Structure 1
Amino acid sequence: MEGARLFDAKTFKEIMEHNMYIDSSIRDKIKSNLESLLNVRLIEVDVDAGDNERIDVIAMGSENNPLIVLFQTVKSESVAAKAVFYLDWLINHKSLFNKLAQKAMPNINIDSIDWPKAGLLCIGGDFTKYDQYIVSHIDRNIELIRCKKYDRDILIIETVYKPAGAKLSRPIAASLEATVPNVEQNRAKRYTKISPTPRIGYCQIQDGKHYAVFPGKEKCEIFEIPISIYLAQNQFVLVDEYNRFQYAFPYWLNDNEMLSSNIASFAVVSLKDSSIFIDRGDNVLLKLNNIPSSVQLRDKNIVSVDSQNNFLRFYKQVRHNADSFMMSAKAKGHTLAFVLKILDDGVLLRDIETGKEFFRDMDTEGITFKEQQILCLHEGNIVHTLTSCKFYTLSSFYDRFEYGTVEIKEGLTFLKKLSGEIVMINDAPDYLRPGQVAYVDENNNFCGIEDDGDGLEVDAVKRNVSNISTFKRVSKKERIEVTKQVLILGNKAYENSYKLCLLKFGYKTEVLEGFEPWAKISNELRDTDVVVVVTSHISHDNMWRVKKEITDIPVVYSEFDGANRILEQVLAAENISKEVRTAR
């Protein structure tokens, strides 16, 4: 006989086990009985962790230690990756935990909370041997608890893995303290101590490995990067004395930047009592000297300093998209896949790097990810989930934009696409105005607008296209390049039709009523390449001024107000203008 079996003592009939996953009813019952089941006190449920992440339960352990209770709802989830992610979140949000704890337990002494023992309880229907193996090697206070349901509403809770002794959590990432490894672990893993203190460097990814580069061009491989964390090329990281990963800062070194020989170290800014300090990674605060009056530093900025802690420069934030992190994912052997459709028997995915679509068989009942999210796959297993689709759609890997003009009706924002289809724009920003040219992804999520005066291609801030040439591919579907601006003096009721029709050929279009004051019309002429006059919809005075004052740019006089007829005349005028310039 293999494994334990449960029998009724009176009838000796076996009580059958159900295929168990933690559904909402079981989850709610466990939450309501945490103290009797797990000896922990409930503080708060369903806590917003930002970036569309929710934490199931925040609780207080029997040793007055902060805890997160995480429910594993599908076996294919990577327990270790999620556990480390949420435990780091807990440790970095002390003040929020203290506030919630005081609300739930008014008599609690905040100073008595044992933060070094902060931990996580993961409750699931079952765990693989790989889950237990990885968790046992992470050196974090993480417990795995199996929950099985049998007939007759019997529930069995069993601890599968519990850290031996008092395994401590990593210190708060913001304090930059590094984990000091125990002697046995160092002997087993044979890491070499290469620095007397933790320090900050920037990441370089080469030959499938992540390296930390320090001032003086010293380069060392980074060890123990959590499975759920990707690093961007040139992103600043904190490593300990053994060059083991500790923290990733949201800042990076500019591409192709030549480092000054005066740089002694990189450091993180700490603002305290109206003074500016730095921490070079060793958790020692030092006064930052000689900051230029034109520089405004923020808390947690990364800066470089010389040997006397004089300010040299600060660095920009990392672009959080697939362009930045694809190289790191590939170095780990991971595939980033966009969730297109969730079906009963599996999931339709798209490989973000290649654009190829594929189907993955799985039982989708009880899964935690959703459509339009990104799955990080390793050897077919889900190791992490990215909740924001913009990680993909705001990268150069995405090539399915659709353009159109903005329409606002009864407070709702719509897009009239080039195809003529009208759709509601998801996540439409408040600054959109009727008549603007905007573009959305295949699910009609807002992606950006035409950048006034510079055309669509310059919208680099909203598109966040990476400068990393290694992984910047040529899009299958090029964005429309706006090269000319047309001013139409005619019936403004046809504005959207004009804009859509001419946009297909790279023309940005402005439409003014032909009866507008000439001062307003002349103001629009400054950046105009072609003027179209609808002769049936313009005042005599404005017609006279057009013929007299517009002499340096082509003018098209159209008897028709249809968009297609006007487009034909604009293209013809452009060709004539080119021939004249060539002849000259």
Structure 2
Amino acid sequence: MSDVKLFKIEHDQVRELPGEALQVERSLQLLFEANLESLLGIRFLASEHNTGSVHGGRIDTLGLDEDDCPVIIEFKRAVNENVINQGLFYLDWLLDHRKEFQWLVMEKLGPEIAKDVDWSAPRLICIAGDFTRYDQHAVKQIARNIELIRYRRFDTGLLMLELVHAPKQGRSSGPASVAPPTTPAVAIANEATEDPYISSRIDYKLARADPDLRDLFEAVRQYLIGLGDDVQVKELKFYIAFKRLKNFTCAEIYPQARVVTLYLRLDPASVEIEEGFSRDVAKIGHFGTGNLELSLKNMDDFAKAQPLLRRAYEGS
């Protein structure tokens, strides 16, 4: 059982709020689906998606995350339900039915988003009132992008989410990293066949960077990972995302400009903008998520950025 407890402070006295984690009902699934972006940073696509007569199943929830990666969400409705194996079965189905998924994205979110679906790190999220120790052990043995989220409901109208397990490294290996097929209706980018570095563009840029810039990037990476045990690293085509339940920082490196660029999930209005160091990019297109841009050219810039990085982490 979860050891997380919630208390209310009243006149210097504390009172524990009793939490419930009953089996997941359809109403709770609908609550999640109606608020996926607020809760998990995921855009809702479909509920109870039929996988067809051959597979004979229904995926609880399909979505697209803030990095344009496909997401399967499965809700564990009973303690003895093997939701992880079931989710892995659906994850394999998804990788075999990419065209169908992209059609769904095109219908729900439009063709521009559909052509940018990133298959490098598809995710499986399992949500339950609790997980057994066998569940938590099993996901550590499986080299797939699986997250376990425990929830608690409180009679005061509060909903608590606890990230029980998440892979530290989010880049996929194996079938998930194969480039998606093209379709006549959705103009899928063909860069993967033209650029040998498309699946590891950050590594390619790092290889071209001078030693000082590589050291700066590595210092930033280690600092972000060290902010907490719940930090996940998700390597994508154009940037690396550092996340908890949602991204809190996205990092890019530009060898020619000799700069490490970070995008933080912070309100630019809450920060004193400094020319050449910080910028409000809420209305400026860019890769990654976050409305505050930081440009780091040396270790002094990195030291100045650290309080902002911690704020972004704590607020995510």
Q: Distance in 1 between matches of 2:4 and 2:164?
A: 14
**Which residue in 2 is equivalent to 1:45?**
47
**Which residue in 2 is equivalent to 1:456?**
none
The 5 A counterparts of 1:19-38 are: 19-38=21-40
Contact 1:65–1:115 at 8 Å: present in 2 too?
Answer: yes
Q: CA deviation at 1:173?
A: 11
Q: Distance in 2 between matches of 1:110 and 1:169?
A: 22
**Which residue in 2 is equivalent to 1:8?**
8
Q: Does residue 68 of structure 2 align to residue 57 of structure 1?
A: no
Q: CA deviation at 1:56?
A: 1.2
| 3-state DSSP of counterpart to 1:8 | strand
| 3-state DSSP of counterpart to 1:12 | strand
State the one-letter code of the partner of 1:32.
Answer: A
| 3-state DSSP of counterpart to 1:13 | strand
**Which residue in 1 is equivalent to 2:133?**
129
**Which residue in 2 is equivalent to 1:79?**
83
Q: Distance in 1 between matches of 2:113 and 2:161?
A: 31
Q: Distance in 2 between matches of 1:135 and 1:167?
A: 16
Q: CA deviation at 1:19?
A: 3.9
State the one-letter code of the partner of 1:116.
Answer: S
**Which residue in 2 is equivalent to 1:146?**
150
CA RMSD of aligned residues (A): 2.2
The 5 A counterparts of 1:222-241 are: none
Q: Distance in 2 between matches of 1:71 and 1:169?
A: 25
Contact 1:66–1:113 at 8 Å: present in 2 too?
Answer: yes
Q: CA deviation at 1:164?
A: 0.8
State the one-letter code of the partner of 1:60.
Answer: L
Q: CA deviation at 1:116?
A: 1.9
State the one-letter code of the partner of 1:164.
Answer: K
- Structure 2 runs not aligned, ≥5 long: 180-316
Contact 1:101–1:108 at 8 Å: present in 2 too?
Answer: no
1:49-68 residue CA offsets vs partner (Å, 9 max, x unmatched) = 12441111110012110111
Q: Distance in 1 between matches of 2:122 and 2:178?
A: 16
Q: CA deviation at 1:147?
A: 1.1
State the one-letter code of the partner of 2:7.
Answer: F
Q: Tell me which structure has the larger Cα radius of gyration.
A: 1
| 3-state DSSP of counterpart to 1:164 | coil
1:24-54 residue CA offsets vs partner (Å, 9 max, x unmatched) = 1111111100000000111111210124411
The 5 A counterparts of 1:477-488 are: none
The 5 A counterparts of 1:433-582 are: none
| 3-state DSSP of counterpart to 2:110 | coil
Contact 1:39–1:62 at 8 Å: present in 2 too?
Answer: yes
1:400-445 residue CA offsets vs partner (Å, 9 max, x unmatched) = xxxxxxxxxxxxxxxxxxxxxxxxxxxxxxxxxxxxxxxxxxxxxx
Q: Quickly say closer, same or farther: Cα 1:136–1:155, change in 2 above 3 A.
A: same
The percent identity for this pair of structures is: 33
The 5 A counterparts of 1:320-339 are: none
Q: Quickly say closer, same or farther: Cα 1:97–1:61, change in 2 above 3 A.
A: same
**Which residue in 2 is equivalent to 1:90?**
94
Q: CA deviation at 1:174?
A: 11
**Which residue in 1 is equivalent to 2:220?**
none
The 5 A counterparts of 1:348-387 are: none
Match of 2:106 among 102, 107, 112: 102
Q: CA deviation at 1:151?
A: 2.0
Q: CA deviation at 1:109?
A: 3.9
State the one-letter code of the partner of 1:146.
Answer: R
**Which residue in 2 is equivalent to 1:117?**
121
Q: Distance in 1 between matches of 2:173 and 2:132?
A: 23
Q: Greater relative contact order: 1 or 2 (C-alpha under 8 angstroms, separation 6 or more)?
A: 2
The 5 A counterparts of 1:109-258 are: 109-168=113-172, 170-171=174-175
Q: Quickly say closer, same or farther: Cα 1:122–1:170, change in 2 above 3 A.
A: farther
State the one-letter code of the partner of 1:8.
Answer: K
Contact 2:148–2:165 at 8 Å: present in 1 too?
Answer: yes
| 3-state DSSP of counterpart to 2:28 | helix
Q: CA deviation at 1:13?
A: 2.2
**Which residue in 2 is equivalent to 1:419?**
none
State the one-letter code of the partner of 1:105.
Answer: L
Q: CA deviation at 1:169?
A: 5.5
**Which residue in 2 is equivalent to 1:66?**
70
| 3-state DSSP of counterpart to 1:26 | helix
- Structure 1 runs not aligned, ≥5 long: 176-584
**Which residue in 2 is equivalent to 1:18?**
20
Contact 1:71–1:124 at 8 Å: present in 2 too?
Answer: yes
Q: Quickly say closer, same or farther: Cα 1:83–1:155, change in 2 above 3 A.
A: same
Q: CA deviation at 1:119?
A: 1.3
1:216-260 residue CA offsets vs partner (Å, 9 max, x unmatched) = xxxxxxxxxxxxxxxxxxxxxxxxxxxxxxxxxxxxxxxxxxxxx
Q: Distance in 1 between matches of 2:35 and 2:130?
A: 20
Q: Quickly say closer, same or farther: Cα 1:108–1:32, change in 2 above 3 A.
A: same
Q: CA deviation at 1:107?
A: 4.5
Q: Distance in 2 between matches of 1:42 and 1:14?
A: 34
Contact 1:140–1:167 at 8 Å: present in 2 too?
Answer: no
| 3-state DSSP of counterpart to 2:112 | coil
| 3-state DSSP of counterpart to 2:51 | strand
1:537-576 residue CA offsets vs partner (Å, 9 max, x unmatched) = xxxxxxxxxxxxxxxxxxxxxxxxxxxxxxxxxxxxxxxx
1:134-166 residue CA offsets vs partner (Å, 9 max, x unmatched) = 112111011111111122222111111111122
| 3-state DSSP of counterpart to 2:138 | helix
**Which residue in 1 is equivalent to 2:307?**
none
Q: CA deviation at 1:108?
A: 2.6
| 3-state DSSP of counterpart to 1:60 | strand
Contact 2:75–2:83 at 8 Å: present in 1 too?
Answer: no
The structure that is helix-richer by fraction is 2
Q: Distance in 1 between matches of 2:65 and 2:128?
A: 19
Q: Quickly say closer, same or farther: Cα 1:4–1:118, change in 2 above 3 A.
A: closer
Q: Distance in 2 between matches of 1:58 and 1:108?
A: 19
**Which residue in 1 is equivalent to 2:266?**
none
Q: Distance in 1 between matches of 2:93 and 2:154?
A: 35
Q: Distance in 2 between matches of 1:103 and 1:65?
A: 16
Q: Distance in 2 between matches of 1:3 and 1:81?
A: 26
| 3-state DSSP of counterpart to 2:124 | strand
